[in-house]
Amino acid sequence: MENLLLKTKVINESGKAPDFKEALLRSLFCLIPFDAFSFLGSDGRGWHDSITNTYVVDVKKFEKAQNTEIEIDLIGQVQGN
């Protein structure tokens, strides 16, 4: 679930795109009355995200963090010729 205009996407706790069930539940929970007020909390996540354990992330920052994690994992590994 990617928003090209805002350059954001929705991910689940494991950093992957939500599966059908997670996406469906997230969409249904958006219909909760007063869901907009849930963004006023300390973590700034809507109830539809906190209930379904999903996150809205900036695509560039997320991909940069993923690449950094991969590079860290490669430190010390022997590279083949």
List, for residues 27-50, the tens digit of each pLDDT value: 998 888 887 777 776 677 888 888
Partners of residue 2 on adjacent β-strands: 9
Residue 29 sits in which domain range? 2-74
61: helix, strand or coil? helix
Q: Is the pLDDT of residue 81 over 80?
A: no
46 is a domain residue: yes
Say what the pLDDT of residue 19 is: 94
HSE value, Cβ hemisphere, 13 Å, CA-based, for 61: 7
CB atoms within 10 A of CB 54: 23
22 and 16 Cβ atoms separated by less than 8 Å:
no
Question: What is the model's pLDDT at position 70?
Answer: 84
Tokens standing for residue 12: 């689940």
Residue 58 is assigned to a structural domain of this protein: yes
pLDDT at 13: 92
The reply to whether 79 falls in a domain is no
Per the DSSP assignment, residues forming a β-bridge with 3 are 8
When divided into structural domains, the chain yields a total of 1
Give the pLDDT of residue 42.
66
